[in-house]
Amino acid sequence: MSPDIENLYEVTETKATSTCPGCQLALPKTGGPRHAYLGASPECWALFGELLAREYSDPSYFAVHGLTVDAYAAQHPGREERRTIQSIHVHLAALCLALEHDVALNDLIAVRKRIADYFADRLVWLSPPGDPGGLNVTDVLQADSAEVHSALVRAWATSVWNAWTAHHDAVRKIAKAALD
């Protein structure tokens, strides 16, 4: 762990709770693994694992899986490095195309890959928004049906996309180029 990350966690954590550096969710500290480069607390990352398990276990929940991953990744951008720069662009472009252009979620698989493969060298770090949006993984976990789950994932994705308003124009350019 680099000194910078240690400092970050000194500021945001107490003994009993941890605050997620991405979505700012405060949770009782349990520890556990964290993602290699997404900026998520171990506790938030574990809840995302629960959400993914729910989607993998039921095809009707899985229908919005791509959007779930895009929303989570864009809400947990992490720190500036090559793979986070690429990740932010891939997931924000997918959110842009899904939410503003109704591109089918299945078609976004190819778009994400195209951005990662062909645009990587042109991408620059987009400084993350101070406000991560009003919804997070715990809100989506409240769903008691696939229909509610889909609606909550869409609302979550929209709130994350809107949080990145300052970079919408830059993302739209990449998204459009990847679609052409």
The residue among 51 and 175 lying less far from Zn ion, judged by its C-beta, is: 51
Rg (CA), the chain: 16
The residue among 63 and 129 lying less far from Zn ion, judged by its C-beta, is: 129
* Residue 163 in contact with Zn ion, rule: CB under 5 A: no
Q: By CB under 5 A, which span of 33-41, 83-91, 99-107, 158-166 interacts with Zn ion? A: 33-41
How many other CB atoms are found less than 10 A from the CB of residue 25?
A: 20
* Residue 23 in contact with Zn ion, rule: CB under 5 A: yes
The minimum distance between CB 39 and Zn ion, in angstroms, equals 8
The residue among 58 and 131 lying less far from Zn ion, judged by its C-beta, is: 131
* Residue 73 in contact with Zn ion, rule: CB under 5 A: no
Q: Is 8 exposed, middle or buried (0-12, 13-18, 19+ CB in 10 A)?
A: middle
The minimum distance between CB 29 and Zn ion, in angstroms, equals 14
Taking CB under 5 A as the criterion, the residue among 18, 38, 43, 44 binding Zn ion is 44
Q: By CB under 5 A, which span of 8-16, 23-31, 122-130, 160-168 interacts with Zn ion? A: 23-31
Q: Using CB under 5 A, count the residues that bind Zn ion.
A: 6
DSSP assignment of the chain equals --HHHHHHHHHH--SSEEE-TTT--EEE-------SSS---HHHHHHHHHHHHHHHH-HHHHTTHHHHHHHHHHH---SSSHHHHHHHHHHHHHHHHHHHH---GGGHHHHHHHIIIIIGGG----PPPSS--S--HHHHTT--SHHHHHHHHHHHHHHHHHHTGGGHHHHHHHHHHHH-
Q: By CB under 5 A, which span of 8-16, 18-26, 57-65, 101-109 interacts with Zn ion? A: 18-26
Q: By CB under 5 A, which span of 1-9, 37-45, 144-152, 168-176 interacts with Zn ion? A: 37-45
**Residues making contact with Zn ion (CB under 5 A):** 20, 22-23, 25, 40, 44
